[in-house]
Structure 1
Amino acid sequence: MIGIIANPSSGKDIRRLVAQATVFDNMEKVNIIQRILSVIHASGLREICVMPDAFQIIDKACEHLKRSMKIDVEVKYLDILVENDQADSTNAARMLREMGACCIITLGGDGTNRAVAKSCGEVPLIPVSTGTNNVFPRMMEGTLAGMAAVVAERDKGKEWLRMSKRKCIKVYKNGIFTDIALVDAAITSDLYVGARALYDPSAISELLVTVAKPDCLGMSAIAGSVHPVEETDPNGVYVELGEKGCVETWVPMAPGVMSKIAFRGYREVVPYERILVKANEGMVALDGEREVPFNRGDRIELELSPDGPVVIDIHETLKAASGSGFFIECGEGSKDVLEGFSFYRRCGEESPRGI
């Protein structure tokens, strides 16, 4: 069974409104879902469970497929109460895990995937980027996401499926586990007013990231401007910021927006290391959104953990499946052709034309 969680609110927060970015339209999400569903349907798989949403992204995709391509895709909606917030994604992921989903395709940004990661357990994710900050998910063609999901469903022995365990940041308040971040945890002096999204770097005093990439936007790019760290690296990066910093860099904080960032210092953080936050009061922003308030007397700790969600590597999975003949349709005469193909591969000779 394949699960799909599409967040209709992703790509529309204040970070896009104050930058030179276009809002990711929900109709484009419908188009992406159409392509995903058409691939899954073409494979013969029929068990697709999806999260309901207020915009009815899945419904619209199914209607368009039926009208334009004469494809009648049946999906099963999860029985959850839609609250139109991140709890919808968390609840949907938990249900899909309990139902034994082979994978979960997500449409959203870092925040959407963070909500899913809270309860998906070991169910692997296929994160399709439709958000504002997109360090965890990547831009990809929905058709390829659907193909990888088909491999995940059919590959019971995990022969071709290529996956990796991602890092995360665990937040502890007064010694009690409180929340997680997939990419970054930023300490800001701003208290929660109006928008939850954090977009002003001048308010940030401390930052811990799992991934530091100069070719991304936002918090990850701050650390990436001085000390790049990839998803596959075990360590993270801790940064102290401030006007009296000894280093200044230019960082792309949002689409078309470059900001000067002053560093007091930075260093690598090893797995399971806990950072004691120095600020007396403020908010902890997780993957760009203010989530955890703290006051004087509260003890906030950030732990780099290797126990994040599992993610399917689309490129490596499809390459492994293709190399094993997963996509070859057997028909009349195909046995002789395949045996000939195998012979040429064994002998290291040039294969016959068309193979």
Structure 2
Amino acid sequence: MALVGIIANPASGKDIRRLTAYGSVFDNQEKVRIVRRVLLGLSAVGVDRILYMPDSYNIFHQAIDPLEISIQSSPTPFPIEGNQDDTIKAARFMEEQKADCIITLGGDGTNRVVVKGNSTVPILPISTGTNNVFPFMAEATLAGLAAGLVARGLVPMESSIFTSTKLEVIIDDKVMDLALVDAAVYDDIFTGSRAVWEIDKVSQIFLNRAEPDSIGLSSIGGFIQPISAASPRGLYVELGKNGFLINAPIAPGLIQPVPIRDHFIMETGIEIRVRRLPCVLALDGEREVVIQEGQNAAVRLSLEGPKVIDIKAAMAQAVKKGVFKAKKI
């Protein structure tokens, strides 16, 4: 019996970048429709058990109620608090219950929190956030099919997933946090509204993926030296004068000149020091970690990131193995 976890973040796609930039709003009714199509895809390939994270909007219940499918579903067994701890606990519980994969609805920040709770179960991230570099902009039906194929073992795991790198935040010789796309040194002492949009306050950027077709701080690296999602390398970028300018889309609809002082390839295991103290570290586009004067802080690239289901690869493997071929008629 295949077990699939579903974590739909009701707060994703609604932060201040709808005011400071031109980000789209993913309302929760749209998330209901996405989960509904995911469920239909899962059911079509024979997934029969779902473990879901409950939320204040009841996304999962609204999604499954009108469907006539044979899937057993149960919530993660703890009260919701309406913060990121819900996601961490849900992901950890799904891992403990030996889920075959976890489908997430959210942006880079949501998936970062999922990975803080789960380090072994493959995830399939569907984009419903602001800076959607890590998750896929994918049709939910296909996402459900691909996740179900992997969960049921109908396609070879080694050909259907890849292992992403991650960025580790080290404070006073201890790993304190992580990022899945970018970590940025932000000239402030408060997390405030969390989102990053004032590029003149950013002095260092650490990237473990940087592609020209991405959005947010990752786009800066993508315009300098692209790094793919499956690459074992990263990119360090230092902002400032005496270099060159690039125009980068640092938020939806917000294209700004960015002064580049230096950049180089990040190799795994090498710690790069945070130079500005005090400061706030923004992780995957959100200000998260306050670094105090006198602390020693660094960022390093790790190969031990999340396992990610590749929708296109999984579907191609299914076709190759004849999974979708009907019996003779």
Q: TM-score, structure 2 length as denominator?
A: 0.95
Q: Which residue of 2 aligns with 1:87?
A: 85
Distance in 2 (CA, whole Å) between partners of 1:215 and 1:285 is 21
Equivalences for residues 68-147 of structure 1 within 5 A: 70-71=68-69, 74-147=72-145
Q: Which residue of 1 aligns with 2:38?
A: 36
Post-superposition offset of 1:157 = 8.0
1:303 to 300, 304, 312: 300
Q: Which residue of 1 aligns with 2:319?
A: 322
1:280 aligns with 2:277: yes
Distance in 2 (CA, whole Å) between partners of 1:80 and 1:40 is 25
Distance 1:241 1:54, change over 3 A: same
1:290 aligns with 2:292: no
Distance in 1 (CA, whole Å) between partners of 2:125 and 2:51 is 16
Distance in 2 (CA, whole Å) between partners of 1:148 and 1:127 is 12
Distance in 2 (CA, whole Å) between partners of 1:160 and 1:2 is 19
Post-superposition offset of 1:302 = 0.3
Equivalences for residues 184-333 of structure 1 within 5 A: 184-192=182-190, 194-242=192-240, 244-330=241-327, 333=328
Bigger Cα displacement from structure 2, 38-47 vs 208-217: 38-47
Q: Which residue of 1 aligns with 2:166?
A: 168
Aligned-pair Cα RMSD in Å? 1.7
Question: Secondary structure of 1:150's match?
Answer: helix
Question: Secondary structure of 2:29's match?
Answer: helix
Post-superposition offset of 1:260 = 0.7
Post-superposition offset of 1:177 = 1.1
Question: Secondary structure of 2:117's match?
Answer: coil
Distance 1:181 1:159, change over 3 A: closer
Stretches of structure 2 lacking an aligned partner (at least 5 in a row): none
Contact 1:161/1:312 (<8 A) preserved:
no
Distance in 1 (CA, whole Å) between partners of 2:71 and 2:152 is 19
Q: Which residue of 1 aligns with 2:54?
A: 52
Q: Which has the larger radius of gyration?
A: 1
Q: Which residue of 2 aligns with 1:343?
A: none
Contact 1:2/1:153 (<8 A) preserved:
yes
Q: State the AA in 1 paired with 2:305.
A: G
Q: State the AA in 1 paired with 2:34.
A: I
Contact 1:16/1:254 (<8 A) preserved:
no
User: After TM superposition, what 4+ stretches of structure 1 lie above 3 angstroms from structure 2?
Assistant: 70-74, 156-161
Distance in 2 (CA, whole Å) between partners of 1:225 and 1:22 is 23
Post-superposition offset of 1:83 = 1.6
Question: Secondary structure of 2:146's match?
Answer: helix
Deviation by residue 1:267-292 (Cα, 9 ceiling, x = unmatched): 11111111011112111111011111
Bigger Cα displacement from structure 2, 212-221 vs 14-23: 14-23
Question: Secondary structure of 1:37's match?
Answer: helix
Greater RCO (CA < 8 Å, at least 6 residues apart)? 2
Post-superposition offset of 1:26 = 1.0
Post-superposition offset of 1:311 = 0.3
Q: TM-score, structure 1 length as denominator?
A: 0.88
Distance in 2 (CA, whole Å) between partners of 1:161 and 1:210 is 22
Bigger Cα displacement from structure 2, 191-200 vs 44-53: 191-200
Identity %, equivalent residues: 41
Distance 1:262 1:202, change over 3 A: same
Distance 1:224 1:44, change over 3 A: closer
Distance in 2 (CA, whole Å) between partners of 1:296 and 1:314 is 45
Contact 1:160/1:321 (<8 A) preserved:
no
Q: State the AA in 1 paired with 2:303.
A: P
Q: Which residue of 2 aligns with 1:346?
A: none
Q: State the AA in 2 paired with 1:205.
A: S
Question: Secondary structure of 1:252's match?
Answer: strand
Post-superposition offset of 1:73 = 5.1
Contact 1:32/1:142 (<8 A) preserved:
yes
1:5 aligns with 2:23: no
Distance 1:289 1:160, change over 3 A: closer
Distance in 2 (CA, whole Å) between partners of 1:36 and 1:90 is 22
Distance in 1 (CA, whole Å) between partners of 2:72 and 2:242 is 57
Distance in 2 (CA, whole Å) between partners of 1:203 and 1:47 is 47
Deviation by residue 1:274-319 (Cα, 9 ceiling, x = unmatched): 1011112111111011111112111001011111000011111111
Question: Secondary structure of 1:75's match?
Answer: strand
Post-superposition offset of 1:329 = 3.4
Deviation by residue 1:81-100 (Cα, 9 ceiling, x = unmatched): 21211111111111001101
Distance 1:161 1:234, change over 3 A: closer
Deviation by residue 1:66-112 (Cα, 9 ceiling, x = unmatched): 4xxx4575421111221211111111111001101000000000001
Contact 1:160/1:317 (<8 A) preserved:
no
